[in-house]
Amino acid sequence: MLYPEIVIVGCGNPLFADDGLGPAVIEELDRLQLPDNVKVIDGGLGAPHFIFTLIDPAVTKKIVVIDIAEFGAEPGSLAKFSVEDLPPGSYRDAHSWDLTEPLGRLKDQVEITIFGVQPKRVSSPDMEIGLSEEVQKAIPKVVRYVLAEIGVDYGATIKAERDHLWKEGAAQVRGDPEGST
């Protein structure tokens, strides 16, 4: 079994400012004790080819993707998308690989949810390490929504241990964890 029942993938490159959101959220999720049926992966720039193409729909039933997304909102805003919300070719990584194509092949066999955060700036091709303040503040909210998406309630324990991450922040959320965008 390459991947378990639930796979959470953070996409992006921390060398290009807010493009590092996905790996930053994965780093936070890695600190939590998640159920054995959950795998958290920093997909970096290789998610379309090295992760999504290796999913076995007989085993993996849910994929949660975390990435930045341009949807015309305030920086740090969070939105929930389905694969159908992403027009073909509209969702590309830094190497112009189309992320919708491998997800589109899986969507009828695997439940796929995409959490996108509106970036303030992506520096590619210039290197800039570090997220904008707006996107950094969105991380706790993204973690909460991902946990809700996979049915894990960490609220009280995490709030007591890491209160700074769980304060209501500047990020606005489009949609809700149970509904559509």
Quick: pLDDT tens for 28-76: 999 998 999 999 999 887 766 677 778 888 999 999 999 998 889 999 9
- If one counts the domains in the chain, the total is 1
Q: Let me know if residue 25 belongs to a domain.
A: yes
Question: What mean pLDDT, rounded, does the chain reach?
Answer: 81
Count of beta carbons in the 10 Å neighbourhood of residue 98: 16
pLDDT at residue 51, as a whole number: 79
pLDDT at residue 180, as a whole number: 41
Q: Let me know if residue 31 belongs to a domain.
A: yes
Contact 7, 39 (CB under 8 A): yes
Q: How many residues does the chain have?
A: 181
Residues (pLDDT < 50) of the chain are 156-173, 177-181
Read off the DSSP letter of residue 85.
Answer: G
Count of H helices and E strands in the chain? 5, 6
Q: Let me know if residue 67 belongs to a domain.
A: yes
Q: Let me know if residue 138 belongs to a domain.
A: yes
Count Cα neighbours of 109 within 13 Å in the Cβ-side half-sphere: 13
Nearest to 90 by CA among 62, 111, 106, 67: 67
Rounded to two decimals, the pTM is: 0.81
Q: CATH no. for residue 56?
A: 3.40.50.1450
Count of beta carbons in the 10 Å neighbourhood of residue 104: 16
Q: Let me know if residue 1 belongs to a domain.
A: no
pLDDT at residue 181, as a whole number: 41
Range of the domain at 36: 6-174
Pairing of β 78-81 and β 62-68: unpaired
Contact 24, 57 (CB under 8 A): no
The 3-state secondary structure of 103-163, one letter per residue: HHHHCCCCEEEEEEECCCCCCCCCCECCCCHHHHHHHHHHHHHHHHHHCCCCHHHHHHHCH
pLDDT at residue 155, as a whole number: 57
Q: Let me know if residue 179 belongs to a domain.
A: no
Q: Let me know if residue 39 belongs to a domain.
A: yes
